[in-house]
Amino acid sequence: MGTDPKQTREQHRAERPLGDLGFTRTPSEEDPRRDPKLLQAIAKIAPGTELRQAVDDVIRSHEGALIVVGDPNELSFLYSGGIHIDAPFRPQLLYELAKMDGAIIVDSAIKRLAWANVQLMPDPTIPSNETGTRHRTAERVAKQTGALVVSVSQQRETVTLFVGPARYQLDPVADVLAKTNQALGTLETYKQRLEQVLTRLTALEFQNAVVLDDVLVVLQRAEMTSRMAERITRDCVELGSEGRLIRLQLEELVGEVPIERDAIVRDYHAAGPGAEATRALERLRALSYQDLLEFGRLAELLGYDRNLNPLDHSVSPRGYRVLSHIPRLPDGVIRRVVDTLGTLDSVVRASQRELEAVDGVGAVRAREIREGLRRLQEHNLVDRYLQL
């Protein structure tokens, strides 16, 4: 029992909202935590760490603190005065040392407390937008040395991290949890919509009835889903031990989405699945939100003229994505099958003997490929009717 591709496509378009196709703008692109160094720094002070325990104690006691995490010897040129501690790191000890006015120096591994009550003397010509003395010193030290500097405000009871030129203020855990759970609900919606268009794309692929518009819709939704998942992953880093349950939910939701996205590019890139497809994936991940909404820009990424009408341009999948769904079929074998037969349609139509002739396939694997494709077609048919 078949489905008319034209009717299916028109129904899909009728359900697809104009503008951003049902996706809402997320702040992920403006998220400073996309900086790997900043994210590593956040992980060092996330809930569940000893440093966070010490900082929380400082806040509860209505004290302030300036903590520098780095190599004590490399930072020594900044010191003026201070007490050489050289003791194992303990949250209680850091809390007691914070009662003194000066900065506290902790080694990079946060294993030892090196110095306390240090007056830091960073280069005063380094520009700073901070108003408070503690935050201004923290910013200049971070910019001058690249070390992680934690500034705890006594009056506002806030924690601000400085790493190189980056600045990030930690939100209360309850606020981060609330935002992350909201993002998780959005991700679930994204994933549902992605599964719908993936199921439809698979049906069209088996019917050899795909147009470029079908591919662009899936690629766009897969990238949006991946970006939302990356944002939640950064939230989980900031949540530390408080984000364990969310991590499990995220793994369950995201699954193979990045793999599916990458396979779609290898399947449909005009120049083939090689270096050009790899560069296209890099450019896709670097696209701004606005560019991601433009089908012309996505078509250009896949090697097509951005001015062509994607509704009228037929394309054929090479078969990487569909073949990757066959259990126990290695990537190397998939590549050789696609290289030999060229398209998914050719693979589907191939005889047992033609599949056996592919290097590394053989009789047993040829039967597995044919049986796997048959099961995928049946499964796809069931999925489409369940979505109706």
* Average pLDDT value for the chain: 90
Q: What is the pLDDT of residues 255-302, one digit of tens each?
A: 889 999 999 999 999 999 999 999 999 999 999 989 999 999 999 999
Cβ proximity of 383 and 199 under 8 Å: yes
pLDDT exceeds cutoff 90 at 8: no
**pLDDT of the residue at 7:** 52
Where is pLDDT greater, at 233 or 383? Answer: 233
**pLDDT of the residue at 15:** 45
pLDDT band at 26 (very low <50, low <70, confident <90, very high): very low
Q: Which of 358, 374, 375, 378 is nearest to 366 (CA)?
A: 358
Q: Is 253 helix (H, G, I), strand (E, B) or coil?
A: helix
pLDDT band at 340 (very low <50, low <70, confident <90, very high): very high
Q: Is 106 exposed, middle or buried (0-12, 13-18, 19+ CB in 10 A)?
A: buried
pLDDT exceeds cutoff 70 at 334: yes
**pLDDT of the residue at 30:** 77
Q: Is 165 exposed, middle or buried (0-12, 13-18, 19+ CB in 10 A)?
A: exposed
The domains found in the chain, sorted by start residue, are 37-170 (3.40.1700.10), 182-313 (1.20.1260.110), 318-388 (1.10.150.20)
For 94, the token pair is 């850091």
Q: What is the pLDDT of residues 227-247, one digit of tens each?
A: 999 999 999 999 999 999 999
Rounded Cα–Cα distance for residues 59 and 167 (Å): 19
Report the percent of the chain where pLDDT is more than 90. 85
**pLDDT of the residue at 250:** 95
- Over residues 322-349, the mean pLDDT reads 94
Q: What is the pLDDT of residues 80-127, one digit of tens each?
A: 999 999 999 999 999 999 999 899 999 999 999 999 999 999 999 999
Residues 6+ apart with CB under 8 A from 242: 47, 48, 173, 177
Cβ proximity of 280 and 303 under 8 Å: yes
- Over residues 62-81, the mean pLDDT reads 95
pLDDT band at 380 (very low <50, low <70, confident <90, very high): confident
Q: What is the pLDDT of residues 165-221, one digit of tens each?
A: 999 999 999 999 999 999 999 999 999 999 999 999 999 999 999 999 999 999 999
Residues 6+ apart with CB under 8 A from 165: 142, 143
pTM here is 0.84
- Beta bridge partners, 153, equal none
Cβ proximity of 239 and 45 under 8 Å: no
**pLDDT of the residue at 157:** 87
What b-and-e string marks burial along 228-239, b requiring 16 or more CB atoms within 10 Å of the CB? bbbbbbbbbbbb
- Over residues 355-379, the mean pLDDT reads 92
**pLDDT of the residue at 156:** 86
pLDDT band at 5 (very low <50, low <70, confident <90, very high): low
Q: Which of 285, 305, 283, 66 is nearest to 162 (CA)?
A: 66
pLDDT exceeds cutoff 50 at 28: no
pLDDT exceeds cutoff 80 at 79: yes
Picking from 9-18, 70-79, 99-108, 328-337, which range would have the lowest pLDDT averaged per residue?
Answer: 9-18
- Beta bridge partners, 66, equal 151
**pLDDT of the residue at 256:** 87
Say how many C-beta atoms besides its own lie within 10 A of residue 87's C-beta: 12
Say how many C-beta atoms besides its own lie within 10 A of residue 364's C-beta: 9
Cβ proximity of 298 and 220 under 8 Å: yes
User: What string of DSSP letters covers 313-359?
Assistant: -B----SHHHHTTSTT--HHHHHHHHHHH-SHHHHHH--HHHHHTST
